[in-house]
A and B are shown apart, each in its own frame.
Chain A
């Protein structure tokens, strides 16, 4: 019988492989039995604190085994987990909390101060360090597990399981709400595309607040494999990353291209290829061909896959899987995932012909339930399929421009708006500008991606009577937006040139950057 929620992935792995390693970080490791036991204990606390079905729990815990317990405990309780960047400025976390309306916060001793800044009601804060380890508890473990199973039964596949916040162009982050069914569909597709089994080991790179981690977590749990959580610095240093992969016999990685590129450029792949590696997946931004070919030559026979998809369609909706060095200039995003349909529609609202550029629309059970507490934004991008008049058929407008070649293979060409991808992070340049507008003395600003130097340049026009103070601007932006959005360069210009529509001429600013280089 098909499963109806992702809780069952975890419960079934624990029943089949109780003593197998489930998750490991540098300090702790949990087998499936430990993971379920500790999650059941935390779930018990959450429910006792008043957590009801479909209520969000912010996971204010740095990436670790504890964060995984927070996630599993939330779904065990019928709640909705919301992973956040614990290093995010408090202002931004507050706007996430406000958007959620009602939410609990799961934290540890290390983040409890921040949790208290975020939520006034102490009853809504659950600190993992104070949760009982099971000893001296009135109820025994069997009773707690019965309750978890009981609550699990009540979760149907259209209930939400997580909310991931993405950058919003007006400065308010959008909470993409994903149902259990969408994750199940995605994971069942991934299992058919990538032959992962219980002897495999995955090494995660994506932060949990970035939806690529969905594949890491549930491809692991659904197969009884093991998930390793390296420290952030491992990805910065190619030698550490390769040592990590070799020493732990990692078979599967789903990493952001910028990390794979820096490893390829280090020249170490040929010298120390990670021999157990079988599947190298990547997504989040364009992977350059020369560097992926370096990987392929160093690891013959390994499966490589370029995945593509916005958070709104549950991680990925297309993939291009290959084994040999790629011969073209730009790696395609491939074909639609199982049970997903992709439409390419031109400005006239008509389906594109072969090689015609159009906007990508996605349909299928992968579609998000919309943006949490934001019907307006939801209705603007989750719409009736313009090609279907006879029945209700929702599609998601990605805003991505693509084209399909004669073999049906899709290539990504760019965006319709000012959303960018940097180091795998999805960023609305408008959110940076909205933050800049709150800095004293900034009259107007325009954020531009400098593709060559791979950084964001913020042009600012300073009000009369104010001085251009770079350190002050950077410091104040740092209070409002996450670090990955901070401009790498801030340039003061006397006055913006306007285009014919009376808007800041971004094309011209872009050209200024090209000329500078």
Chain B
């Protein structure tokens, strides 16, 4: 299947986010945590790095008021944020 448009829907986005996280911390099982921020699986410097990666990879601009712990708590939350910004922008 062709990537590009197809991967913007459904599960594909989640897979890409996991890939980005795994590149950073391959030893961690990100899917099993219900709150990555509170569980301490991603720290403050990693959040900053993730924001840069997301902005580059998904060609979005994450405004400051969207950068809140809830938006980074789970893979699904991150995917929602990216979807929202893609359609909105």
Contacts and interface: CB of A to CB of B under 8 A. Distances in A.
A, B from the same assembly: yes
Contacts of A266: 63-64, 67
A237 B27 contact: no
B67 A423 contact: no
B67 A455 contact: no
Interface in A226-255: 232-233, 235-240
Nearest to A268: B64
A235 B44 contact: yes
Contact of A233 (B23, B25, B44, B48): B44
Interface string B41-79: 001110111010000000000011101110000000000
A240 B24 contact: no
27 contacts: A232-B40, A233-B38, A233-B44, A233-B69, A235-B44, A236-B44, A236-B69, A237-B47, A237-B67, A237-B68, A238-B67, A239-B68, A240-B68, A240-B69, A258-B48, A262-B48, A266-B67, A267-B64, A271-B64, A423-B45, A455-B49, A470-B26, A474-B25, A474-B26, A474-B27, A488-B49, A489-B23
A258 B23 contact: no
Given A236-B47, A488-B49, 7 more contacts: A232-B44, A236-B48, A238-B64, A240-B69, A258-B48, A265-B64, A475-B27
A516 to B, nearest CB: 14
A488 B68 contact: no
Contacts of B23: 489
B25 to A, nearest CB: 7
B37 interface: yes
Contacts of B43: 232, 236, 483
A320 B80 CA distance: 44
Chain A interface category by residue count: 20 to 34
Contacts of A258: 45, 48
A240 B38 CA distance: 14
Nearest to A469: B26
A259 interface: yes
Interface of A: 87, 232-233, 235-240, 258-259, 262, 265-268, 271, 423, 454-455, 470-471, 474-475, 478, 483-484, 488-489
Interface residues on B, range: 20 to 34
Contacts of A470: 26
A284 B61 CA distance: 28
A237 B69 CA distance: 7
Contacts of B24: 488
Nearest to B38: A233
Contacts of A488: 24, 49
Contacts of B67: 237-239, 266
Interface string B1-45: 000000000000000000000011111000000000110100111
A258 B43 CA distance: 13
A232 B40 CA distance: 9
Nearest to B70: A237
A388 to B, nearest CB: 42
Contacts of A232: 40, 43-44
A454 B45 CA distance: 10
A454 B49 CA distance: 9
Contacts of B38: 233
A471 B26 contact: yes
Contacts of A238: 64, 67
Which one of B43, B47, B51 has the highest number of Cβ atoms from chain A below 10 Å of its Cβ?
B43
A399 to B, nearest CB: 25
B49 A239 contact: no
B63 A471 contact: no
A259 B47 CA distance: 11
Contacts of B40: 87, 232
Contacts of A478: 27
Contacts of A455: 49
Which of A233, A423, A483, A484 neighbours the largest number of chain B CB atoms within 10 Å of its CB?
A233
A478 B25 CA distance: 10
A423 to B, nearest CB: 5
Which of A262, A471, A484, A489 is most buried by chain B, counting CB atoms within 10 A of its CB? A262
Nearest to A270: B64
A455 B24 CA distance: 10
Contacts of B25: 474
A239 B63 CA distance: 10
Contacts of B65: 239, 268
A374 B65 CA distance: 49
A360 to B, nearest CB: 27
A271 B64 CA distance: 10
Contacts of A471: 26-27
Nearest to B46: A236
A49 B68 CA distance: 46
Contacts of A265: 64
